[in-house]
Structure 1
Amino acid sequence: MNKNILPPKLPLRFFRWYCHPDYREDIEGDLLERFERRMNEKAVNAAKWGFFTDVMRLFRPGIIRSLEGNYRLNQYAMFKNYFKVGFRNILKYKLFSFINVFGLAVAMSICMLIMLMLADQKSYDQFHKKKDRTYRILSKMPRSMTPNASSPFPLAASMRENYAFVEDATHLVPRVGGDVMYGQKNQVIRGYFADSSFFNVFSFDLEKGNKNTALDMPNSMIISREIADLLFADENPIGKRVEFIDRALHIMDFDDGSITGSNPVDWGSFTITGVLDGQKHKSHLKFDVLVSGTSLQALYNQGKLRDLSNYWEWYSYCYTYVVLNRDIKEGDLANALDELVIKHYADLENIRGLKLIPQALNNITPGKFAGNPPSLRLPIEAYYFLGFLALVIIISACLNYTNLSIARALTRGKEIGIRKVNGANRGNLILQFLSESVITVFIALIMANLLLMLIKPAFTGLWANQYLNFDLSGNIVVYFLFLAFALFTGLAAGTYPALHLSRFKPVSILKNPGKEGSGKFSFLKLLSIFQFVVSLFFITTSILIAKQFKHFIEFEYGFETENIINIPLQGNDYQRLSNVLSAVPGVSVVSGSEYIPATAGGHGIGIRKLGSKEKHTHFQILAADSNFVHNLGLKIVAGNNLPPVDKSDRFILVNEAAVKALGYQSPTEILGQSFEANTHRDQLEVIGIMDDFRFRAPFEDDKIAPLMIRNQLKSFNYINAKIASSDISGTVSKLEDKWQQIDMAHPFKYQFFDDQLANANRWIGDIVSIIGFIAFLAITIACLGMLGMTIYTTERRTKEVGIRKVLGARDLNITFLLSRKFLGIILTAICIGIPLSFVVNGLWLQNFPNRVDFGFDVMSLGTLILLILSLITIGSQTFIASRRDPVQSLKHE
């Protein structure tokens, strides 16, 4: 063999380490001969690779040396024995094993569900080639708790032109939404204006069209595959002309119409230049259409859109994304944004303190909550919360395993002693007990997957998931994480029992098997107390949230909602539709409104007295007609109602809270007073004062803010129809018939006002379901652990119970005797859990508007539930033990 070319050192060292000394010399010689032969026949790299494969093939039980000497069993046989004994112990103690397996399976299934959720969210935006260098720019005002996902229009161009480290930048302008028509076909679409840099920043692919030129020409658009199929069927959409009527629908508009656009504006004809299949791209950006940014100038010139291309003040106008050059840090971008803030906002008093903040594309989903988002996502804070709940549950299950393993060790004392006498050291025993816990956890993993199959449909069936759209299908990476998680859980659950049990002294454990474990029972009590403290906390929390949810559902808003249906206009003329629908038999009153009160809609405006130099007072504004007041049963406490729509729209109605906010002592003082708004120079005159009512959702505010109602027909988005007929379904059917006579392009959509108010609070119902389910799991795991401990205690004291019964003890006395220790654990947990639950729940409840009372009723109900479940768990076993025939007990002993 050429002495200059030697076998690879690492494989040779590895072989010499694992090979049995009796075989090492002969086998090594054969390996070297094979290496030399390959050197003569093949290339050097091929010979070295062949040597490595030979070494790995020899790594098998017959050749591996023993780590503990030449005459002991090798590692393979030792681990085989560990797992064999582990399986036997699991089968021997069936009830204890079931409690451990079921508790761990339940906890693991919840953790696995959260892992699937995170895996789904982490998969967003991973297809972009420049994802590691792409940032979204957020804007934040000092008074805001969280930043907005949006930013000013000129930002993208300024970053491109003024900063060399910016490779490219693009922005998306929302509120592109309305009706697109091709021939006789009509579809509602939503999307953005996008400039030609869009495909330089994002890696979306077009099924049809050239993405390098698709957004270059004015009046061109890219549509989704779904819209293309609906409009063009088998035709090739590229080059086709469509008509587009915009209604400024936002991408976040929900199907119930809770967020709607403005009056329709005909934007003219557009050419289809591309088709994009959004289902192939998992992105936080969802859209049906991308309209070329070059189309904006023509719309500005025609007065169909307001030109805000140079307005830095409108920091919530669009979404800006920046790609940095390689090796440029996020801090460089942050410094550049600080410079732009100083340059453009230093002299703007009304938005002083604004910050522009970079957010990495990979941190958007999941990420921290940002206002005005392009799509609805669960914020990272929610995952922290869910992760905390799952951690508590898995800890509780691991504590069950620890409790029962240490308690059961008293029956395994002789086994431990004999193993030590026969030469087993502490390391061997630790491996034995850890192998048992790992076996238990992997059996639990199988059950957890079965439970996960039941939990997933329940989770995806939550109301909020229709907007979050979780995809909980797993992949190879997720399943590998499941296995790693199971192994970690097994080691975590078995570490303390293994360390504790392995230190038993063989002489004392063989002489008195119960002595070694008795000293640690106080620690087991602490573990049990912790479990029940956690259970009591979750029980009281779920009761409190359910009470808060019921309070919102039954909330008194101060206006009538019965038999009122709200119908989105969907771009139709309000006056025409109102005239037709009001003539339907069974309809008593028809009104129009901009949004539906108390459903989390609305916007603000600042007003002050005409000619005054004082600061503007913030008002909520609602566009509605004169029938709106009658329809909702609102009371005019002073002045008159709004005039009909053909009169001047300068008259406004204000509520009593507005009277106080403007500094007037009585409603009559403000009548006839004139005011001006901060958004325009229109003169507003107060014509009437309404009684206060709750026009904001109860979770938004606990105080009634100033409100003005103004009769602005162009801002109406809804018809509010009050049904006086007892045949409600028949009247709705007649309304639908009338609708189809006017508008055959859009389906008839409506919701009952009561249902809309209930839906506005449905998310709290989801929280009730989640917390309630976690509480159920926590108390179930705790009670299972207590059940196992009770069974163990009654079995150990069988002889004592028999003797006491022979001496005349009654069943009730024996039941109390056996239950006394466990009752002490429960009472201690209650004493700790009540103040803990009261303090922690009180903290989040203080930040909740319109909160319910939290006190004795909730705590007592939670305590009662815990006591009942605990007493059933403990009493069922102790009562059976007390009723057992003493003759049979003594005979058994």
Structure 2
Amino acid sequence: MLKNYFQIAARNLKINRSYAILNIFGLGLGMAGAVLIFLFIQFHLSTDRHQPDFDRMYKVVLDLHLDEGVEHESGSAYALSTALSQDYSQIEKVGFISKLPNVTLSANSGGKVKRFIEKENVAYADQGYINIFSFDWIKNNGSILLSEPFTVVLSEKMALKYFGTSDVIGKTIRLNNTNDLRIVGVLKDQNKPTDLDFNIYISLPTLKKLDLTNWPEQYGWISSKNFTFVKKTKGSNSADIEKALKSNGTKYYGENSKYYQHKLQPLSDVHFDERYGGQIRRSILWVLAGVGFFLLIIASINFINLATAQALKRAKEIGIRKVLGSTKGQLFWQFMAETALVTVLASVLALIFVMILLPSLNNWTHTKAFHFGMLFQFEVVSFLLLAVMVVIGFAGFYPAVIISGFNPIAALKSKLSTQQIGGIGLRRSLITVQLIIAQILVIGTLVLVLQLKFFKNTDLGFDQNAVITIPLPKSDTLQKTKDALRNDMLQYPDIKSVSYQYEAPASNMGFGGSVRFDNRAEWEKFVIRDRFGDENYLQTYKMQLLAGRSLMKRDSVVEFVINEELMKRLGVRDPQLILGKQLEDGASGFKGDIVGVVKSFHLKSLQEAVEPCVIFANPKLYKEVAVKIDTRNLAQSIQHINQAWQKSYPDEVFSYEFVDEKIAKFYEKEEQLTSLIRSFAMVAILICCLGLYGMVSFMVTQKTKEIGVRKVLGASVSNIVSLFGKEFLILVTVAFCIASPIAWYAMKNWLNHFAYRIDLEWWILASGGIIILLITLITVGYKVVIAALMNPVKSLASE
């Protein structure tokens, strides 16, 4: 019997090819969108969950309870890491890691020296870090790897990059052209989602040898590049550890302990908590899950509309089957078999779509995590099977009930009423649901695009255009070399300005702290941010001076340029009145006079409010040279800079990055979300168009004779198009009235996450409605015009 069901189903689909193609294509698109979203969500939810005992692993984060609010810090000090391993019996293991950006590494391979700039994948790590996390080793030099100075662990990818082989135990690579690191281990390349994807681990004792200051003993040496991880003992409570940390605050921070509150962040939350540098909010994943669900819903609605519209053509077939003895149950399962066959074919098409779109998903997420093999994972196969079953049940049940319930006599006489095949009202409701979902997605996409455009085009308070930054060699700190490089660069007329700095004005730089103004007895109640740059810093970024002057090149005298926001926080309104006043920067310990006030500028992304800031020279911390260039001949400008660089640093790798590209990275998450929502909105619109086509096909079939009569009586094509257009204009209007407040509420909540945002004005909502209206009219108009142009004699002769 089952075989017979599917044979008949295949024959019916072959006969009704256009109906089958529309359904398979629509369902395939919806299922492909759902699978892509599932892959994206699964990738994020599985981040670092492959670690054994991940539920006992935590990252130590910090809440700074200041007078003006709480600041969240993802980093911690090495001194605290040492204390955790010694003072808390509830903690089984402790690991510390420190990111090392823009490092030069070189290797002698086959008699040839290879030099590379590694920008983000290198870190100092202690032995505890290696012990706390699970690594897949290709080779290692015993169980103790990073306990000795000048040792290093590489990933297989990096071993092949430097030596062309993974058999590199005992070989050396050179750090910043000064110190050799002995390779003691090779790791397999990481192929599972992780936020801890480093390819080179240098032993932390190496840093202690290179930096002879007392940073290992300073609890206040907190940076967003330094992280402590702990693994608690079985049965212990993280809340008890946090209480113990708080009670020991005086031991670590003295009288300032009230400001410091350490927390244990579960490893499973690290990826999602944006307060501490997380990559994506869980709420965004649930929104995307909703989008995937709605794609399946609107694709299933299409199936229902097309199936019930097709029922008129199959009325006599059903009537004959009933007269010949087919029961209602047999007809029900016959149609469900057809639905199953269509859905299975659609799932195959969906997989083809997914395979085609996987590279795009990698581009959207800036990863290489999505590949063909993922489609055969148990979770993905299970999801696809579940989606197939849900679609078969949801899309097939109602049409199967309707068709199997036909009155055989009415079916044979072609006298079925619209109520017997589902009714126009139901189809209107289903189409309206589709239009609501499509309008919400379109309005959401418009808001995302406009907010992203706002981010990119808003004046940051300085000129980031045509400025490139070059990481300075860590091996050379001589000022005369820097002066020579600057002078060589400025010999070229296309190079406008050269400045040494720690980072650009807007960056993730975390330096800052308390401030004392004009020899007041008390420190101010707020914190400030530090920016380090030389006497050309303001000129390079064209920062607007409101009063005073820029910094001057001096060896011993400290000078400060403050921003307008700091001036206002200090209670001064006239910038001229603050010049010459003394300032003490608590973070650096520097004291000096205020010599200038610049217009406030954004120190971070537009997601955060402008903060009080001080700019001063700190040559020991300069790590970049910023160069303002003439972009009319960009290639020549870069060549000139490279020539000057090679003259000063012949053994160093030349590498550069545009400042505006760095700033654009602030908004990678928003860019990613916009790309995803925009793509799935287009899929939803395409599916919706198929649904509209099915609806108008049904209406045209119902009104074929009416169209013929109207044409005989003199109606024009435009009159007939208007007849159907009014129907869909009402549906779009109803959908807009429902979708607009939902979209407004959702996007208003999303925009509230940003300190600076667009206004959610009425025209944005109206634009979403107009876009859907135009698409609806085009889709409906195409089918109606074809019907209106039909010869009325054929229309009236149809049975």
TM-score by length of 2: 0.87
Determine the C-alpha separation between the residues in 2 that align with 1:797 and 1:349. Answer: 82
Instruction: State the Cα distance separating 1:775 from its structure 2 match.
Output: 2.0
Cα 1:357–1:422, aligned 2, differ >3 Å: closer, same or farther? farther
- Correspondence for 1:345: 249
Distance 1:371 1:232, change over 3 A: farther
Q: Which residue of 2 aligns with 1:460?
A: 362
Using the TM superposition, name which of 399-408 and 662-671 deviates more: 399-408
Question: What's the CA shift for 1:787?
Answer: 0.8
SS in 1 for 2:311: helix
SS of equivalent to 2:309? helix
Residues 1:607 and 2:515 aligned together: yes
The match for 2:677 is: 771
Q: Counterpart amino acid of 2:57?
A: Y
1:816 paired residue among 722, 725, 746? 722
After the TM superposition, which residues 636-651 of structure 1 pair with which residues of structure 2 at under 5 Å, given as runs? 636-648=545-557, 650-651=558-559
Give deviations 1:132-157, integer Å, cap 9, x for gaps.
56412343528799976555546666
Query: Structure 1 residue 169 and structure 2 residue 93: aligned?
Result: yes
Whether the 8 Å CA contact 1:133–1:323 is kept in 2: the answer is: no
Q: Does 1:668 align with 2:576?
A: yes
1:368 corresponds to: 272
Contact residue 598 and residue 696 of structure 1 kept, 8 A: yes
CA distance in 1, matches of 2:155, 2:659: 34
What is the CA-CA distance between 1:105 and the residue it aligns to? 0.7
Distance in 1 separating the partners of 2:72 and 2:584: 30
Confirm or deny: 8 A CA contact 1:589 1:722 kept in the other structure: yes
Q: Secondary structure of 1:665's partner?
A: coil
Q: How far apart, CA to CA, are the structure 2 residues paired with 1:812 and 1:315? A: 66
User: Would the alpha carbon gap of residues 439 and 621 (structure 1) be closer, same or farther in structure 2, given more than 3 Å must change?
Assistant: same
Aligned to 1:735: 641
Whether 2:27 is the aligned partner of 1:115: answer no
CA–CA distance in structure 2, aligned partners of residues 892 and 81 of structure 1 = 33
Q: For the residues of structure 1 that align with 2:667 and 2:54, how far apart are their CA atoms?
A: 38
Q: CA deviation at 1:652?
A: 0.2
Partner Cα distance (1:427, 1:451) in 2: 35
Query: 1:89 maps to which residue?
Result: 12
Q: 1:350 to 1:663 in 2, by over 3 A?
A: farther
Q: Is the aligned partner of 1:695 residue 2:606?
A: no
Partner of 2:304: 402
Q: Does 1:272 align with 2:183?
A: yes
Q: Does 1:802 align with 2:711?
A: no
1:521 to 403, 419, 424: 424
Q: Find the aligned partners of 1:398 and 1:193 in 2 and give their Cα distance.
A: 53
Q: Unpaired segments of 5 or more residues in structure 1? A: 1-77, 247-265
1:663 to partner: Cα distance: 0.4
> Are the equivalent residues in 1 in contact too, given 2:565–2:613 (CA < 8 A)?
yes
Distance 1:633 1:132 in 2: 49
Correspondence 1:652 to 2:576: no
Secondary structure of the structure 2 residue equivalent to 1:141: strand
The answer to whether structure 1 residue 783 and structure 2 residue 689 are counterparts is yes
Q: How does 1:445-524 map to 2 (within 5 A)?
A: 445-462=347-364, 464-466=365-367, 469-471=369-371, 473-474=373-374, 475-477=376-378, 478-504=380-406, 512-514=415-417, 516-517=419-420, 520-524=423-427
- Alpha carbons 1:417, 1:509 under 8 Å: kept: yes
Aligned to 2:592: 684
Distance 1:226 1:309, change over 3 A: farther
TM-score normalised by the chain length of structure 1: 0.78
Structure having greater relative contact order (Cα 8 Å, sep ≥ 6): 2
Deviates more, 1:335-344 or 1:443-452: 335-344
Partner residue, 2:200:
289
Distance 1:411-1:569 versus aligned 2 partners, 3 A rule: same
Percentage of pairs with the same residue:
24
Residue 187 of structure 1 contacts residue 227 of structure 1 at CA under 8 Å; is this kept in 2?
no
- Other-structure match for 1:212: 143
Equivalent residues of 1:564, 1:752 under 8 A apart: yes
Aligned-residue offset at 1:651: 1.0
Q: Is the 8 A contact 1:598 1:757 kept in 2?
A: yes
> Quick one: distance in 1 between partners of 2:787 and 2:290?
39
90 and 399 in structure 1: CA distance in 2 versus 1, 3 angstrom threshold:
same
- State how 1:716-735 maps to structure 2 within 5 Å: 716-723=622-629, 727-735=633-641
SS at match of 2:593: strand
1:639–1:687 CA contact under 8 A, matched in 2 = yes
Question: 1:125·1:131 contact (CA, 8 Å) conserved in 2?
Answer: no
What CA deviation, in whole Å up to 9, does each residue of 1:392-419 have, x standing for no partner? 2111111111222233334444444555
Q: Pick from 451, 468, 484: which aligns with 1:548?
A: 451
Q: Deviations over 1:750-798 (max 9, x none)?
A: 3444555555545544433322222222222112111111112112221
**Partner deviation per Cα, 1:833-868 (whole Å, 9 max, x = no partner):** 333333332332343333223323323332222222
Q: CA deviation at 1:871?
A: 1.0
Do the aligned partners of residues 153 and 493 (structure 1) sit closer, same or farther apart at CA in structure 2, a change above 3 Å counting? Answer: farther
Deviations, residues 674-731 of structure 1 (Å, cap 9, x unaligned): 12233354323211222x1433355233x54322110112222322223359544323
Amino acid at match of 1:604: G
One-letter amino acid of the counterpart of residue 214, structure 1: L
RMSD of the alignment, in Å? 3.5
Residue type at the aligned position of 1:530: V
Q: Which amino acid aligns with 1:788?
A: G
From 729, 732, 748, the counterpart of 1:842 = 748
CA distance in 2, matches of 1:456, 1:159: 44
849-858 vs 224-233, which moves further: 224-233
Which residue of the partner structure matches residue 594 of structure 1?
502
Q: Secondary structure at the match of 1:287?
A: coil
Distance 1:242 1:316 in 2: 23
Q: Secondary structure at the match of 1:271?
A: strand
Residue identity matched to 1:848: F
Separation (CA, whole Å) in 2 of partners of 1:148 and 1:637: 32
Question: 2: distance between equivalents of 1:505 and 1:227?
Answer: 73
Unaligned runs of 5+ in 2: none
**Residue 633 (1) aligns with residue 548 (2):** no
CA distance 1:806–1:657, shift in 2 (3 Å) = same
In 1, are the aligned partners of 2:154 and 2:187 still within 8 Å (CA)? Answer: yes
Shift of 1:666: 1.1
The equivalent position to 1:559 in structure 2, one of 447, 453, 462, is 462
Aligned to 2:237: 333
Match of 1:17 in 2: none
CA–CA separation in structure 2 for the residues paired with 1:297 and 1:760? 32
Q: CA 1:290–1:733 in structure 2 vs 1: closer, same or farther (change >3 Å)?
A: closer
CA contact (8 A) 1:82 1:432 kept: yes
Write the distance in 2 (CA, Å) between the matches of 1:453 and 1:734. 45
CA contact (8 A) 1:608 1:617 kept: no
**Aligned partners of 2:573, 2:423: CA distance in 1, in Å?**
72
Mapped to 2, the partners of 1:892 and 1:856 lie a distance apart of 48
Q: In the alignment, residue 473 of structure 1 is paired with which amino acid?
A: G
Q: 1:816 to 1:503 in 2, by over 3 A?
A: same
8 A contact 2:137–2:187 mirrored in 1: yes
Supply the distance in 1 between the matched residues of 2:295 and 2:503 (Cα, whole angstroms).
43
| 1:617 correspondence with 2:526 | yes
